[in-house]
Amino acid sequence: MPAAGADLSPLFSRERLNQMSIQPLFPDLASPTLALGWGQIDKLYTTPDPEEWLDIEHAAAARQQEFIAGRNLAKVLAHSLGLPNISLRRGDDRSPRWPTDRCGSLTHCSTVCAAVVSTTEVIESVGIDLESVGRVETKLWPTLFTARERDYLGQLEPEKANVEATVFFSAKESFYKCQYPLTQSWVGFQDVELERSDDKVLRISPTNGDKQRWHVPPIHVAPVDEQHVATLILLYR
């Protein structure tokens, strides 16, 4: 357990940042008010923030490591935007409680994590998701995808379908994370439907009810490495 009042300023030292090896993610979207990145969990792990440790002190070791790594990544991204270092506690719904001067989103797989942080004067909400390619098996398609989505996936070559199913699942996760802070509502996998705009962008629409403003933004898609893909949705003000 970290000592109370632990000094976390070394997190932002040049030496520590080099060790973290944070990689750019969706670099074309980055701006002075929006920062994105990903990295290896073992390289992002460091001494926990004492306040954040309260949320995970009884969790399994692997969960503690991914939690701390994600928070460290978010703090580095916030620091790059000139935002102060503030503890990122977990809410009762288990989602991060972002300070009022920023919005953000975190995601992780077993070995890597990614994050997006933005100042709130430009962006109202964000959602990011990272998935391991091959996680979404064909037997899961009826639960995760609409009939139209399954028809599209079924027309692809198996290897392409494997990647595309992962992308579609990830996109729905990103959408959920973006809309939840605004609606506080659950959205099921069958409640929205995706279609391709091009090789870097998906569009989403509701299958029930009226289209809302959080259905309008594109969902961006990018490879992270050979084993992972990421999706991102940005709801601008």
Nearest Cα to Cα of residue 39 among 65, 73, 62: 73
Mean pLDDT taken over the chain:
93
Residue 124 pLDDT level (bands cut at 50, 70, 90): very high
- Confidence at residue 4, expressed as pLDDT on a 0 to 100 scale: 42
Q: How confident is the model at residue 9 (pLDDT cuts 50, 70, 90)?
A: low
Share of the chain above pLDDT 90, in %: 86
DSSP per position, 72-106? HHHHHHHHHTT-------B-TTSSB---TTEEEEE
Q: Which residue has the tokens 């990830």?
A: 170
Q: Mind listing the pLDDT tens digit for each residue in 73-95?
A: 999 999 999 999 999 999 999 99
Average pLDDT over residues 206-234: 96
Q: Which amino acid is at 32?
A: P
pTM of this structure: 0.92
Going along the chain from its start, the domains and CATH numbers come out as 9-117 (3.90.470), 129-236 (3.90.470.20)
| Percent of the chain residues topping a pLDDT of 70 | 96
Element (H, E) at 164: helix 158-183
> Is residue 5 pLDDT above 60, yes or no?
no
Return the number of other C-beta atoms located less than 10 Å from residue 90's C-beta. Answer: 15
- Reply yes or no on whether the pLDDT at 12 is more than 80: no
